[in-house]
């Protein structure tokens, strides 16, 4: 059975992706900084922690993929961001995927192919948005990292792509936006917020063999909000 590692899988989008992939027949290694049933504790910022996560991926089946979903989302005015918070957001959202790609790539190369999907955000393309500038900057960096990794791994049969969701309906946005949720939905050209399941479906396709000729791409799933 092919195995896939999904970070940030304790709740929200990560949990939806893990559930979808299990339904598609993958052996899923779900990791998260938070403890949760069926989820391996894993701090993506810690280089040493990736060794344990990768070992679990190998034990679960034949390594096939990595989904970098773990992220720290912060709503903060640009000039209210402290340097320590800036560093931590980028450590989680950009350093984490970098470490993950570097850790998992040898397994995929040894297999002769595989898939890496990075969860970016449409905030990478927007000058105004709900999230802080550090979050947006980290996701813009992740899109560039995706393209560089795609070029570096193409000859090994490993595709690397990104998915950039817009605002998704769920507990995270309700915690961060509160009463602004209806207004956020009204700003979307399609007139609603997206669902984690809709994004998970795109991730599942990128992990499939049908997506074998797609690499270095960023698929925006935001109902037209970044147009």
For 141, what's the count of Cα atoms within 13 Å in the CB-facing half-sphere? 16
Cβ distance 32 to 6 under 8 Å?
Answer: no
Residue 152: which region, alpha, beta or left (left: phi > 0; alpha: psi -120 to 50)?
alpha
Among 53, 135, 162, 200, which one carries the catalytic annotation?
Answer: 135
The reply to whether 26 belongs to the active site is: no
Say how far apart CA 52 and CA 47 lie, in whole Å.
Answer: 10
Closest CA to 162 of 107, 202, 192: 202
Catalytic residues: 135
């Amino acid at each position: 059975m092919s195995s896939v590692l999904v970070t940030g899988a304790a709740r929200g989008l990560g949990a939806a992706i893990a559930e979808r992939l299990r339904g598609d027949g993958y052996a899923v290694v779900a990791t998260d900084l938070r403890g949760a049933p069926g989820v391996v504790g894993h701090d993506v910022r810690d280089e040493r922690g990736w060794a344990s996560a990768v070992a679990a991926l190998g034990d679960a089946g034949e390594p096939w993929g990595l989904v970098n979903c773990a992220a720290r989302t912060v709503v903060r005015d640009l000039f209210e961001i402290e340097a320590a918070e800036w560093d931590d957001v980028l450590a989680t959202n950009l350093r984490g995927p970098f470490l993950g790609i570097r850790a998992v790539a040898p397994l995929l190369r040894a297999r002769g192919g595989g898939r890496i999907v990075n969860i970016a955000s449409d905030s990478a393309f927007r000058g105004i948005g709900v999230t802080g500038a550090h979050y947006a900057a980290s996701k813009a960096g992740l899109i560039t990292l995706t393209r560089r990794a795609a070029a570096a791994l193409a000859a090994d049969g490993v595709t690397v792509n990104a998915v950039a969701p817009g605002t998704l309906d769920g507990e995270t946005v309700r915690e961060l936006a509160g009463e602004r949720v209806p207004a956020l939905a009204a700003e979307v050209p399609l007139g609603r917020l997206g669902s984690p399941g809709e994004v998970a479906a795109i991730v599942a396709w990128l992990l499939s063999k049908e997506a074998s000729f797609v690499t270095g791409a960023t698929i925006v799933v935001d109902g037209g909000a970044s147009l």
